[in-house]
Amino acid sequence: MLEVLRSWTMRGHPNLDDLGPALPREQWTLVDAVRHQAAAAAEREFLSFENGSSVSFSEFNDLTDRLGTALCDLGVQPGDRILGLLTNSREFMLAMIATHKVGAIFVPINTELRGNFLEHQVHNSSPRIIVVDNGLIERFDAVDTSPTAIETVLRVNDGSDSTNSTPESLSGASHMPLEPLLETVPRIEALATPVPEDVCTIMYTSGTTGPSKGVLMPQGHCYLFALGTVAAMELTQDDRYFCCMPLFHANGLFMQVYASLLAGASCHVTKRFSVTDWLNIVREEKITVTNALGVMPEFIFRSPASNRDQDHLLTRILAIPVAEEWGEAMEERFGVVLRQGFGMTEVNMVTYSDLDDPVMASCAGPPLSDFFEVIIADPDTDRELPRNEIGEILVRPKVPFCFNVGYFKMPDKTVEAWRNLWFHTGDAGHMDPEGRLFFVDRIKDRIRRR
């Protein structure tokens, strides 16, 4: 079975312009993709959720038109920020695309944040509207919102047992449930027409080296994030993706849900990853493709073996990273092909495993050379290093709007990251003689700066 899968994928990097909806580059926006698939895929299922709800491509387009119109009625203007503190749900996805349809900027927030960490991102993004699960609104009890001008709080019924109390910090805003806004009569003429250069999303970094930074992501950046995954995983409309990662993270959002959108595939979304439920969900939901990040793939591999480990339709897993001690064994056990890649929110996914290569530990594959330049450089001088030497991974785009355009309200951090006309990822790696990137670790953990 594994060799059949390998032979099926031995074709090298394809031409991305021919994939997904094959839109011309001037239409590389998520809004254009939604509208295209509403016509092309129509009533086919786009998203399903663990609570049993689902939405088709045409329904998704219609509901985001309605919610976008409601946002216009609330006074939202292009460039305004709409902050989402939302668990994985239909409402998360509707809020994001509706925000884009009015030319505003969606700001997804890590649902684990509390106190000063949440307050920093609220202050930095200065949202006009907050969309929040009822079960998470109490997080704002410990947040000072006085430096912001929050006008409206849209509350999502997430099935929690929380009360309808209003935190003092949000008492100056009007509060309303989101659900009735989905009944708004859509006015397409009131909506915006995004273009690839429009900043549409601010996604915050983890903040491991200081206050988290808001990455300014244009439409073209988000679109290519998804399109690269379509290429890497050979997605078609017959696939069914399984997303168990948080949608506030680029992997779950762009590399699973929006990759499914571009391919016309369906995507099943759960609230979180559970190693004990993972294979059962894959089997029951007829999943063909999924992603596993960080410790997830090893946790799956270390789970108790069963005589039903290959009783499923799953064929491909984007696993980042893969270790030598279990990579090939995981492929054999589950009858799947593992793919790898390298990227980060700021730079997109800039490499993927070559379709011709067997699984190799920590091999992220060659760069998508039509779109990005990738080198390994001395972290002190930024001079390119010879093949097989470990240094810092530096990246820059070859085409416009496929890359971040800075950190929101942090010009000093933007300049620091863009030294010598290269974006500094802070990650260590090396290139092999064939031009394949191997990820090693965070740069500070591997290389001592002089």
Task: Give how far the C-alpha of residue 170 lies from the chain's centroid of Cα atoms, to the nearest Å.
Answer: 29
Tokens 């309605």 label which residue? Answer: 66
Helix (H, G, I), strand (E, B) or coil at 422: coil
Strand locations in 355-436 (E): 363-365, 372-377, 391-397, 423-431
Instruction: Tell which residue, 50, 108, 103, 79, has the closest CA to residue 258.
Output: 108
Q: Give residues with Cβ within 8 angstroms of 12, minimum separation 6.
A: 354, 355, 356
Instruction: Tell which residue, 7, 88, 13, 27, has the closest CA to residue 315.
Output: 7
Q: Is the pLDDT of residue 49 over 90?
A: yes
Exposure string (b/e) for 132-170, b if CB count within 10 Å is 16 or more? Answer: bbbbbbebbeebebeebebbbbbbbebeeeeeeebbebb
* Region 363-379 average pLDDT: 97
Alpha-carbon dihedral angle through residues 163, 168, 170, 176, given to the nearest 10 degrees: 30
Predicted confidence band at 371 (pLDDT cuts at 50, 70, 90)? Answer: very high
- Give the pLDDT score at 115: 96
Amino acid at 81: R
In percent, the amount of the chain with pLDDT more than 90 equals 91
Predicted confidence band at 444 (pLDDT cuts at 50, 70, 90)? Answer: low
- Give the pLDDT score at 450: 31
The pTM of this model reads 0.94
Predicted confidence band at 2 (pLDDT cuts at 50, 70, 90)? Answer: very low
Residue pair 173/150 in contact (Cβ under 8 Å)? The answer is yes
Helix (H, G, I), strand (E, B) or coil at 260: helix
d(CA 169, CA 144): 6
Domains in the chain: ranges and CATH: 57-194 (3.40.50.980), 219-446 (3.40.50.12780)
- Give the pLDDT score at 4: 44
Phi, psi of 422 (to 5 degrees): -125, 140
d(CA 294, CA 69): 39
> Which strands, in side-by-side order, build the sheet including 316-320?
54-56, 45-49, 266-269, 240-243, 289-293, 316-320, 337-339
Instruction: Tell which residue, 57, 97, 380, 383, has the closest CA to residue 219.
Output: 97
Phi, psi of 202 (to 5 degrees): -115, 115
Structure tokens at 146: 């006085």
What's the Rg (C-alpha) of the chain?
21
d(CA 123, CA 127): 8
- Give the pLDDT score at 448: 41
Predicted confidence band at 194 (pLDDT cuts at 50, 70, 90)? Answer: very high
Predicted confidence band at 357 (pLDDT cuts at 50, 70, 90)? Answer: confident
Helix (H, G, I), strand (E, B) or coil at 290: strand
Q: Is the dihedral of CA 12, 16, 18, 20 positive or negative?
A: positive
In percent, the amount of the chain with pLDDT more than 70 equals 95
* Region 73-92 average pLDDT: 98
Residue pair 296/274 in contact (Cβ under 8 Å)? The answer is no
Structure tokens at 43: 């009533």
The counts of H helices and E strands in the chain are 13, 21
Q: Give residues with Cβ within 8 angstroms of 7, minimum separation 6.
A: none
State pLDDT tens for residues 284-335: 999 999 999 999 999 999 999 999 999 999 999 999 999 999 999 999 999 9
* Region 346-368 average pLDDT: 92
Q: Give residues with Cβ within 8 angstroms of 382, minimum separation 6.
A: 394, 419, 420, 422
- Give the pLDDT score at 168: 95
Exposure string (b/e) for 390-419, b if CB count within 10 Å is 16 or more? Answer: bbbbbbbbeeebbbbbbbbebeebbeebee
d(CA 95, CA 89): 10
Alpha-carbon distance values, 316 to 21, 59, 113, 242 (Å) = 21, 28, 32, 11
Interhelix angle 30-40/219-233, nearest 10 degrees: 50
Mean of the per-residue pLDDT values of the chain? 94
Tokens 């000093």 label which residue? Answer: 412
Structure tokens at 443: 């740069």
State pLDDT tens for residues 218-233: 999 999 999 999 999 9
Tokens 């010879």 label which residue? Answer: 386
